[in-house]
Amino acid sequence: MKKLITTCCIIGAFASAAHAQIKLGLKIAPQITWVTTESKSISSSGSKPNAAYGLMFDYYFTENYAFATEIAVASYAGDLTVKDSKITRGGTAANYEDVNYKYRTQYISVPLMLRMRTNEIGYFRYFAEFGLDLGALVRAKADIKNSSIDLSDVNVNNPDKEDEYGIESNDNPPVKYDDDAVFFRTAMVIGAGIQYNIFGTTQLVAGVRYNNALNNFAVEDNWKARMNAVSLNIGVLF
């Protein structure tokens, strides 16, 4: 009985492997990023053009269902203004006033998604995707301005000596803020698009994806600021 079960499992594994299809490819994704906030102590404004690029991996465990992932370098940027705060620099505190941050961050992004596609209609297949995006910080810079200071390209997580400063609230006693960018970024992703057979098994892929952050992008919990994105993903699968 055990030999029969083992034999059936082996046959099933070979059948599954034969039916499965693995595809690799490259992608580029122009995207628009922006900051959203639920905090009364900061405000956000505007959106920024950015981009992502990297390697795609699709594992089709059935004809129309796949586990899809990527290894990409993704850039996110956004503006926020911290209200009723002050900057201390070189031992001197600026007047109580708003401070504007123009954040620019870059993450290694690894989305884990389920992709569902239709049967071939002409040369096209249509798909929808849903999953979780995991990111690890590569770089975090910001331009920091108020009426008293004007700092450009500050490495907020590890500023150079000439860029060192402190920011705190207009409270009594004041509360020190931590404006570092978080190392890990998580987001829910949902998207849709098309696959087009160019020749043989080579496919052109194009789609729109919404990337909704689940955690704050700044370490400072009081700011409650998240960086979101909408991207146009264009790639080739081989």
Structure tokens at 71: 């290894």
- Give residue 99's identity as a one-letter amino acid code: V
Residue 119, phi then psi, degrees to nearest 5: -65, 165
Single-letter amino acid code for the residue at 168: E
Q: Structure pTM?
A: 0.88
Q: What number is the average pLDDT over the span 30-40?
A: 95
**Residue-wise pLDDT tens digits, 203-233:** 999 999 999 999 999 999 889 999 999 999 9
Domain 21-237 has CATH 2.40.160.20: yes
User: What tokens does 130 get?
Assistant: 């849903």
| CA dist., res. 21 & res. 63, Å (int) | 8
Give the highest mean pLDDT range of 11-20, 53-62, 161-170.
53-62
Structure tokens at 174: 């004041």
pLDDT, greater one: 56 or 93:
56
SS3 state of residue 203: strand
What is the rounded average pLDDT for all residues in the chain?
A: 90
Average pLDDT rounded to a whole number, residues 181-189: 98
9 pLDDT more than 70: no
pLDDT (0 to 100) of residue 94: 65
* Local confidence band at 18 (pLDDT 50, 70, 90 cut-offs): very low
Task: Identify the pLDDT of residue 13.
Answer: 41
Q: What is the mean pLDDT of residues 149-159?
A: 94
Express each pLDDT in 66-75 by its tens digit.
Answer: 999 999 999 9
Q: How many residues does the chain have?
A: 238
Residues 46, 103 contacting (CB under 8 angstroms): no
Confirm if 29 and 233 have CB atoms less than 8 A apart: yes
Nearest-angstrom CA–CA distance, 137 and 180: 11
Domain segments of the chain as ranges: 21-237
Extended strands (E) in the chain: 21-37, 42-45, 47-60, 65-89, 92-93, 97-117, 124-145, 150-155, 166-169, 184-199, 202-213, 225-237
